[in-house]
Structure 1
Amino acid sequence: MRAISDPNELKILTSLKQKRGYNPQNKNKIVKLQISGYKGLYAELRGENLRFFLRYSKANGKKTDRVYKGLSLSQITSSALPYDRELIAKGLDPIEEQKKARQQAAKLAEDNKKQKITFEDVYLQWKGYTQKKTLSKYDVSTEESYKALRDMNRYFHVFEKHILPSLAKTPIYSITSYHLTEIFAPLYSEHYATANKCATPLGDIFSWYERETKGEFKTPITSSFAINLRDSRKEGIGKTKNFNAPDYRALPVIFGHLNSDRYENNTSALVTQFCILTACRGQAIRKLQWENVHINEDDATGYFIIPKEDNKIKDAPKELRTVYFGSMVGALLTNLKDKQIAIAPMVKYVFPNRYRKDWAEHPKPLSENAINTFMRKTFHVNELKEGYLWKDADNEKDGLIHAHATSRACFQTWALEQKDPKTGLPRYSKELTEACLLHAKADQYKGAYDRSRVSEEELCRIKGDWEDFVFSFVFAGSEIEANPLNGIALEDLQDHEADIQRLEKQGQSIEVQEEADIQRLENEIQDIQQEGVGTNRSEKIRELRERQKAIRKMYHVIKSYRIYTHGLMQLAKAQDDFKKYGGEGLLRKLKEQKEK
């Protein structure tokens, strides 16, 4: 029994004990006593426990008791009882109202607890869970775990930079789709790709916490969130810029500079060259391993397979991870392997990061930043020093060319613009160029109905033609340097070039003209052979064969001269762009970045 000090309660207790006949052993006996002066208020003694209750009728006429637990008589008569009588007078049930009050108090306490759980608290829990889950798949000492941790930290860094500061101290239960729209709308309109990168972890965080709370928390990412961002996403897509690429006609000159002796031992330059020659993504070339390279012994053509973890689309099938190449790339790879075996025979990477002192013992691939840094702070700086500005073909203001677009955009534009010299029709199909770029068929209907496949021979042929085009300025320059033309020969060559240009305007390509000239001589040879035995017959045939060789050589020289002349025109344009677009100021800016 609670301690009783109120004289009125002691008096009531004494009366109850006398009424019952006090016997502490008889705990089951209950004695009740109505308290005078307070209608409906009773005292009850059950064993040693004294309690008070109010007997009243509900709205339906049923009698019930309102028990006052833990309250003294003075507390009941001064506050609880008057309040309950007021409720009864209004037709309300004090017991039900007490339950509601307890529920409201519990809800308020829960709300107060939820208000203390900030988005940052949940984010840190989710981050720890994600790190643990990711690293559990790998042995912590392996290179795979290092890559996974690095990629994961990049994933966190973008989110922590752009989204977390706006939500960190916000209670997670109070976040709404409208609140998220205010954060994401400006980000989508200005930086569409970054917004997409941030939207993925945000959805993961909310979904994870919804599972953790067993549905008590509801994700605020709803359909209205997507609808509210519709205009911002359209605006952002409109502002999205592609990587900068040059006019593909200038690529042979640019490649010639990349292939110069200046960058002979520069791994970043070598990776950039191979990206261009294979029209491949940088990651696949940077992480290329010898075990995935296959070269045919007969003609040096071949292919390499990109592992799933190094491919842009992780679940892509094998045919969308197989890169074919022509004989030039095959020869370069063979030569590269021979040199590498002589220095470090156990290196598994085709292009190891040789900037590291221990690259032979602990080889690692180049980082993407190494390629970007080389292009911007080495190649462009050197070219600007020489007075050349290589910029985006479609960007009038700025846009230094990027390795990714220089390789892939130039390849596709070149392939789609090539015409068959005899028919004038496109030389390569769209499907063939898409296959070279490892692109899947775009939509499910096309993928369902279009079952066509391009052959390995077609892929090797187009890649071989592309390699010839990329190396064309280098080879043309070598031809002209090895066989310099005197004034008379150059004048004759220019006369032939003028005739060829006149015929080209009539729709005849230089290849068709060459074949026609060779065939005309071949017809004369056949006529002589059909005449039978005659004087000087062998001499005439020998003379015609020599003329055929001379014609082929002349056309070869004309083609080389054309390529070289066109290259000089591209160099002149790059010099004009240097003056037109402030090359000196851009050079100072890049030098400052390099010093920093």
Structure 2
Amino acid sequence: MKQVKPLTVKQVAAITKQGLTCLGGVNGLYLMVKGEGKYYVFRYASPLTGKRSFVSLGTTSSITLAQAREKAAKYAADVRDGHDIAQKRREQREKRKLAVLVSPQVKAGTFEAVAKQWLDARVKTGYYDKNVRGVSVVEAYLSRNINPVLGKMPVDAIRAQDVFRCLKPIWTTTTEAKNKCLTIINGVFRWAQAMGMLEGENPADKRGALGVLLENLSPHVKQPRNMGALDPEEMPEFFCELMNWGTIASKAFAFAILTASRSKAVRTARWSDIDLEAGTWTCPESAMKVKGRGIFVVLLSTAAIRLLKSLPRMANTDLVFPSPYQHKVMSDTGLGQIVGDMNKQAKRQGLPLWIDKAQTETLGKDIRITVHGTSRATFKTWTKLDANLKRFDRDAVELCLAHKLDDGYGGAYDRAAMLEERRRIMDAWGEFCCSKLNQPAKLRRKG
């Protein structure tokens, strides 16, 4: 078998070719690039059937190259000993599931103890294998919102009134927290019923007494509101004012617009993740809203590259948009305050404010545009205008926003083929945003 010279960490990080690339060092170790995701895999021929197969070792963001080589070496030894790796892993998963289902150690106790058993059972059966933050999110809600009220109570003594007492403080204020907490509490009680710890009704079932109690709070529930966004036709003029505002924060906002990116990704962007020659920006998983999908590659338009080339490189930091004073990551508030400052100046000069016109009309008060809404919602609305609706592929638009495609294949089927389409969309968006850059600015930042 031909030996491949082991690739270095830097060489592996630079691989963008879709499909499999042999990494060397251990026979069978490959890097699989699928869309924006990168995974270490071990390829082998089954000693039982002779068929070629592969198993995933983990994403490049979850394990190091050295760890991948160590895992691959162990699997290679197993294959030499006559084991089929995929079959062995399936058998181990089934054993773990069976052990959890028939475990004699499961006993009724306090809600806190039963919730821990429920969560441990989910971890052992692989429920959170594809959600790296799943366990920590559940633990946070249990610790912060649920256990302070229900934690010390015997699980079989809890009634709907107790669950209502736990949910009431958050039911009318936060949409996500109330739904998460109810889902967790309901899950714990359903599991307790299945394990024989609880008889009778589930006190967290909204179809029972709990639903009746929560009905009284429904009129007071705070309705979620969309992030303020510009009408697309206002974007060229706003972008001109933003670029002429001249601060590092305004340039960061402009870059977020050109790349249709979230605030965190832009604020934590590093020069080492940007390849101006290739026109790409590699966002690490830590900067993405949804974890577990690996890195995301943003295709930079000509306008975005031009903006980056105009920026000064700060000493002692790799950040593209560092805080101007401490040279650390800029705060979300600092970036969002740009619109407030621009609107204050516009008011002094008697100019129109930058507001979300649709929400302002609906709610009867000025709704200021936001970084998120203007960078992402305005971009998506622009792609749906009559002139663009037939011009751009809808799936490619979703990928530009780092959204997962619901195509039955985890969104991986045609991502590679859409790279060219995504770049075409972003170039057109950049040209549109910059179409009024040659006009004089109206706002005077120090006026």
Does residue 196 in structure 1 map to residue 179 in structure 2?
yes
How do 1:434-473 and structure 2 match up within 5 A? Answer: 434-442=398-406, 444=408, 451=414, 454-473=417-436
Residue number in structure 1 paired with 2:306: 331
What is residue 380 of structure 2 aligned with on the other side?
412
Normalising by the residue count of structure 2, what TM-score does the alignment of the two structures yield? 0.56
Partner of 2:226: 242
Which runs of no fewer than 5 residues in structure 1 stay unpaired? 1-110, 131-147, 482-567, 572-596
Of 392, 408, 426, the residue aligned with 2:356 is 392
Percent same amino acid among aligned pairs? 25
The 5-angstrom pairing of residues 166-565 of structure 1 reads 167=150, 174-181=157-164, 183-184=166-167, 187-188=170-171, 191-199=174-182, 222=202, 225=205, 227=207, 239-260=223-244, 262=245, 264=246, 266-296=247-277, 302-318=279-295, 321-336=296-311, 339-340=312-313, 343-344=314-315, 346-356=316-326, 359=327, 364-376=328-340, 378-387=341-350, 388-395=352-359, 396=361, 397-398=364-365, 399-419=367-387, 426-442=390-406, 444=408, 451=414, 454-475=417-438, 477=439
Task: Tell me the SS of whatever aligns to 2:384.
Answer: helix
Task: Find the residue that maps to 1:349 and give its secondary structure.
Answer: coil
Kept in 2: contact 1:284–1:306 (CA 8 A)? yes
The corresponding residue for 2:66 is none
**In structure 2, distance between residues paired with 1:284 and 1:159:** 28
How far off its partner does 1:239 sit? 2.9
- Unpaired stretches in structure 2, ≥5 consecutive residues: 1-107, 121-132
Task: Give the whole-Å Cα distance in 2 for the aligned partners of 1:408 and 1:220.
Answer: 48
Q: As a proportion of its length, which structure holds more helix?
A: 1
The 8 Å contact of residues 255 and 470 in structure 1, kept in 2 or not, is answered as yes
The change in CA–CA distance for 1:452 and 1:302 in structure 2 (over 3 A counts) is closer
Superposition deviation, residue 406 in structure 1: 0.6
Residue 459 of structure 1 aligns with an amino acid whose one-letter code is: R
Q: Determine helix, strand or coil for the equivalent of 2:319.
A: coil
Going from structure 1 to structure 2, the CA distance change for 1:332 and 1:446 (only over 3 Å counts) comes to closer
SS of corresponding position for 2:381:
helix
For residue 323 of structure 1, give the secondary structure of its aligned residue in structure 2.
Answer: strand
User: Deviation per CA, 1:504-561, whole angstroms, max 9, x where unpaired?
Assistant: xxxxxxxxxxxxxxxxxxxxxxxxxxxxxxxxxxxxxxxxxxxxxxxxxxxxxxxxxx
Per the TM alignment, residue 324 of structure 1 is displaced from its structure 2 partner at its CA by 0.9
- What letter is aligned with 1:196? N
Amino acid at match of 1:302: G
Query: How far off its partner does 1:335 sit?
Result: 2.9
Cα 1:446–1:347 shift into 2, 3 Å: closer
Q: Contact 1:178 / 1:225 at 8 angstroms: preserved in 2?
A: no
* Aligned equivalents of 2:411, 2:179: Cα separation in 1: 26
Task: Tell me how far 1:241 sits from its aligned partner.
Answer: 1.6
- Report the TM-score when normalising by structure 1: 0.43
3-state secondary structure, aligned to 2:358: coil
Equivalent residues, number: 310
Could you say which structure has the larger radius of gyration? 1
What secondary structure is seen at the aligned counterpart in 2 of 1:257? helix
The answer to whether the Cα contact below 8 Å between 1:244 and 1:401 also exists between their aligned partners in 2 is yes
Aligned to 2:52: none
Alpha-carbon contact 2:258-2:303 (below 8 Å) kept: no
| TM-aligned CA deviation for residue 307 of structure 1 | 0.9
State how far apart, in whole Å, the 1-side matches of 2:288 and 2:176 are.
Answer: 19
* Contact 2:229/2:369 (8 A) holds in 1: yes
Q: What does the per-residue CA deviation read over 1:284-322, in whole Å, with 9 as the maximum and x for residues that have no partner?
A: 1111122211122xxxx611111112211111144xx11
